[in-house]
Amino acid sequence: MTRARDLVFVTGAGGFIGSNIARTLSRGGRPVVLCDRFTQPGSWEYLAPVLARDIVLAEEAMAWLEAHEKDVAAIVHVGAISSTTETDVPALIKNNVRFSLDLWDYAARCDCTFIYASSAATYGDGSQGFRDDDSSAGLAELRPLNGYAWSKHVVDRRIVDDVEHGRPTPPRWAGLKFFNVYGPNEGHKGTMRSVVHQLYAQVAAGRPAKLFKADNAEYPDGGQMRDFVYVKDCCAVVENMLAAPSLAGIFNVGTGTARTFADLAAAVFAAMGAEPNIEYIEMPEAIRGRYQYFTQADVAKLTSSGLAPAFHTLEAGVADYVQGYLMAEAGAGRETAPAAQV
């Protein structure tokens, strides 16, 4: 009897978005293989609910894939150095660029679906808009503001160049430009945790919620705007893509609606049943001039392709996360990451 080619190989499986994707796919009955370096605290707890067909260390990923070419149906690649303040360029090249392109080439050669994480950070200051134009000319107009964003942009441009020049490509592929994602399994991320998580920790500790003052006269303090998207919706997008009969392109993954940080803080206070108490602090010198004041996903392509879920509103997503996860974990005696400035 021939064994079905059904495995979904998930990189970054021990991290924030990756662990949520692995849990969602496993819950839906898909056989998953978990790949990560597993060096951060919490990885095994994030993945405890997952029925894994196998677990692979990232350094052994390519050898494992070559040995299981006839079993792997899809690669969902969300593993990366995700810090926007990372300055180790060789590490960004090794982890974010080289590994991604090796997986892309493998998927093309072995005829399996390839879904990978790009980032809304590739849009830079937003002056070119937030339309997921995946033409070489459109991508060439973007100017990332940090090394992380540049590393994601390099991969987008190489993949699109392969497509436009008729080089080998996977039969079905998608790049996902995630906007500001929040949700369970991010406690390990330190200063890169979502603002929801950081504000929750501050309020739970009896402290004011801290937001940056605006360093741009066009925005009031707390009026900086982001497209905040719940990680459960990101997982739904991946599920939709894996089920789609055809798939090709780079897609924005956001709600399509920008909200202010003040709105976000209000949603956290409401979810916790607490009175609003916000303190505005100076923006760190290190990020001035490289700070995105406005992001809003153009989701027309995602929607018209039938890949968009019914996105949570900001208030609904924050309430589900805070009450169903953060407060529940605190009630069960599990430690929440320490409060940090936002």
Question: Are residues 227 and 120 in contact, defined by beta-carbon separation less than 8 angstroms?
Answer: yes
In the annotation, is 94 catalytic? no
Instruction: Spot the catalytic one: 116, 123, 148, 230.
Output: 148
- Cα→Cα distances 317→24, 196, 286, 336, Å: 17, 10, 31, 19
- Cα→Cα distances 76→4, 157, 204, 316, Å: 18, 19, 35, 27
Question: Are residues 213 and 283 in contact, defined by beta-carbon separation less than 8 angstroms?
Answer: yes
Give the H or E element holding residue 195: helix 195-204
Instruction: Spot the catalytic one: 152, 189, 210, 301.
Output: 189
In the annotation, is 189 catalytic? yes
24: amino acid identity, one letter: T
303-327 exposure pattern, b = at least 16 Cβ within 10 A, e = fewer = eebebbeebbebeebbbbbbeebbb
Could you say which DSSP state residue 285 is in? Answer: G
Residue 294, CA atoms < 13 Å, CB-side half-sphere = 12
Q: Which residues are catalytic, by number? A: 148, 189
